[in-house]
Structure 1
Amino acid sequence: MFQYLAADGGQGATNIWQLIWPFLLMFAVFYFLLIRPQQKKQKQRTAMLNQIKKGDKITTIGGLHGTVMELNDDTVVIRVNDTTKMTFERSAVNTIISSAPSASEQ
């Protein structure tokens, strides 16, 4: 048995790398085409959600437009019209349409 392993000239190790190489290549392709862009997009969304402030005009994931009236750690209260205020999870905000001027800009 040992003579057989020595007689193949180390081809067993080469065959293992030939099997592993395509999997490594596929993982690299998936990482650069799928995983990395998704992580970048998630970072941008988290930054956008952290930048919401009172007075911003926003759109929710459901398509509701409104102005931010109150902010908590997890919730956002938006004014839809003159009398209606609605409370949403902060993660339900889809986009900031226009940002309210900050105190330093006024």
Structure 2
Amino acid sequence: MLISPAYAQDAAGGGLALITQLAPLLLIFAVFYFLLIRPQQKKQKEHRELLSKLKRGDRVLTAGGILGKVTQVKDGVDEIEVEIAPNVRVSVLRQTIGDVLKPVGANDAGAKT
């Protein structure tokens, strides 16, 4: 035979090569976790707490952009009653409440420095 068989050489540092291949993937996952996943979970937790603390008289903003005042909150039910105009009350799902608005105090409205 004129052609001798060629054998593949072993990669030097087999364990080190595996680490260098996995390191970028682990780094990307860590960045995604700290920049995307963790803040989103924190925001969801705060929103759940906000919804659980709803009470009568709170001014709320729904996901549809409607401002109203909570007139009735039923325990164990996902619906709350919101007054959006005088004598106009609608039932909305608790999850559609986007934010609870803080009342503006009399001193805060005119104070510009």
Relative CO higher for 1 or 2, CA cutoff 8 Å, sep ≥ 6?
1
Output the amino acid matched with 1:60.
T
Residue 94 of structure 2 is aligned to residue 90 of structure 1 = yes
Indicate yes or no: 2:27 matched with 1:30.
Answer: no
Secondary structure of the corresponding residue to residue 47 of structure 2: helix
Of residues 58-67 and 8-17 in structure 1, the stretch that sits farther from structure 2 once superposed is 8-17
- TM-score between both structures, scaled by the size of structure 1: 0.80
Equivalent residue of 1:46, what SS? helix
2:45 pairs with 37, 43, 46, which one? 43
Q: Secondary structure at the match of 1:76?
A: strand
Q: CA RMSD in A?
A: 1.9
Gaps of 5+ in 2: 1-6, 104-113
Q: Which contiguous aligned blocks of 4+ residues in structure 1 show a shift greater than 2 angstroms?
A: 7-10
**How far is the alpha carbon of 1:67 from its aligned partner?**
0.9
Number of aligned residue pairs = 94
Structure 1 vs Structure 2: percent identity of aligned residues? Answer: 36
Larger Rg, first or second structure (1 or 2): 2
Q: Which runs of 5+ in 1 are unaligned?
A: 100-106
Q: Which amino acid aligns with 2:98?
A: N
- Secondary structure (helix, strand or coil) at the match of 2:82 reads strand
The 1-side partners of 2:101 and 2:20 are apart by: 52
> Pairwise mapping of residues 1-106 of structure 1 onto structure 2 (< 5 A)?
8=10, 11-72=13-74, 73-98=77-102
What TM-score, normalized to structure 2? 0.75
